[in-house]
Amino acid sequence: MDTITKIALAGGLFAIMAFIHFFVDWIFQSHSEAMIKHNHPWVRAKHCFIYTIGFIPLMCFLKYSFWEWLIALNILFWSHFAEDTYIPIYLWAKYIRRPAEMTEPWKENYIRADGSVAFRVHPPDPKHGFGEFIQTPIGKILMITIDQIIHLTFLFPLVWMALN
């Protein structure tokens, strides 16, 4: 098979897998699951199990070998399980994006005994700042975008196995 044909087939297969990814990842997940899965491994595992099952019809159609099945199911489940902790996004934000919320001192309002409002200045705190950053519009957009780029990247080994 020539290179252009192989690239075209890989692109088409990747598009199908990306559709399955978005469909299963978003449609079969409740809002409450989405909000707590990063801190609750059993909720995350249930979500990842459902996500992985969503790819089984395509894997049957592609006639994966036993080892390809084993590898693909593990890639789908474990990559999703790790990514949905949001640790990779936190590390991206901390070391690459470096938003002001994560790198600069932050202020906290408090009320003095006399009733007046004052501020405490705290040193930079990446964990606190990450929570602040993802509450901003750009933070939300980038968090979702980086999350999806990472998820989709793990589909490439499945495409490669199907074409080889």
Closest CA to 80 of 141, 164, 22: 22
Closest CA to 84 of 139, 52, 136, 40: 40
Q: Please report where in the chains the tokens 């299963």 appear, as a residue.
A: 24
Tokens of 127: 């964990």
Taking residues 130-152, report their average pLDDT. 95
Q: Please report where in the chains the tokens 């949001």 appear, as a residue.
A: 86
pLDDT at 4: 93
pLDDT at 152: 97
Question: What is the average pLDDT value for the chain, to the nearest integer?
Answer: 94
pLDDT at 154: 97
Taking residues 129-153, report their average pLDDT. 95
DSSP states of 70-101? HHHHHHHHHHHHHHTT-HHHHHHIIIII--HH
CA-based max dimension of the chain? 80
In the chain, domain spans: 3-98+137-163
Q: Which residues contact 10 (CB under 8 A, 6 or more apart)?
A: 159, 160, 163
For the stretch 71-126, pLDDT in tens is: 999 999 999 999 999 999 999 999 999 999 999 998 888 888 888 888 888 999 99
Element (H, E) at 119: strand 117-122
